[in-house]
A and B are shown apart, each in its own frame.
Chain A
């Protein structure tokens, strides 16, 4: 009796409604909750690296400040702006889906992808600069083992501990970049379906959930930028 009632209700509902959900609202809420649970595990994952950063920064403050000053503040700042802009276009894509603006949705999704790629491009230039200056930790590239000679050391800094900053810099920005690449991949699939008109006011879970992930990756950078690029900068400039 009850089952046949649900079955009739389903038959009349949106084609995207899965059979194990009662209605679209429950399905939407469950999807968002699932992504949030995943993001909690991501917060713990990055939390471990932020912990390592804090421990080594307190252990080698002068070495970390010296190495941090060698990073390009201009490229870091531009990338922060690019990522914030991409978060805005992502939020606008969700808004366009919710309000049924099909064209605006596709355009803002494409913009988000392009801004994500811009971020990765600038990051690649920064990584190349580290390669050129022999600042890739370890002996990954033949003929370019890590050499802190290019880093201007603050008085009292020990050149032997500079490498630790670059291990943490590459681990954290590298994992962040991996998340960006995955995000661009997921966004490409979402954009493909959005262009075919799959998402509208009734059903837009995938756009919303991808948005949650994209904003999370933005938040990680919001913390990485001051911690890696800015702290210790004043020692160089303020004197």
Chain B
């Protein structure tokens, strides 16, 4: 698999998209949305921005399967870390013991 050179206009597009994302997240952060929507919007924009950086700036979109597997393993273990911890903390008061 030979090296793929990402074109300059792709970099510029991603750069502009990241700036727009930052502006959007600040505007959304100052607006009062109902319920937990503020958190959901902020995290969604952050995940989209991070995905753009990983896929294009870090070339994962054009990388070998091996790189994909290594990167995905990080997300996999991160999900375990969060899921198991919260399955404890967020369910402690489901029974009348706390």
Contact = CB atoms under 8 A, between A and B. Distances in A.
B15 A230 contact: no
Interface residues of A, number: 51
Interface of B (DSSP majority class) = helix
Contact of B11 (A54, A58, A88): A88
Nearest first, the 3 A-B pairs at minimum CB distance are A238-B32, A230-B29, A226-B42
B93 to A, nearest CB: 12
21 contacts: A29-B66, A36-B70, A37-B70, A39-B74, A43-B74, A43-B75, A47-B81, A51-B82, A54-B82, A58-B89, A77-B26, A84-B22, A88-B12, A95-B8, A216-B58, A222-B49, A229-B29, A230-B42, A234-B29, A234-B31, A234-B38
Given A48-B81, A51-B85, A32 B63 contact: yes
Interface in A24-76: 25, 28-29, 32-33, 36-37, 39-40, 43-44, 47-48, 51, 54-55, 58, 73
A218 B46 contact: no
A99 interface: yes
Given A32-B63, A95-B8, A98-B5, A231 B74 contact: no
Contact of A55 (B66, B67, B74, B85): B85
Interface of A (DSSP majority class) = helix
A87 interface: yes
A128 B50 CA distance: 29
A81 B19 contact: yes
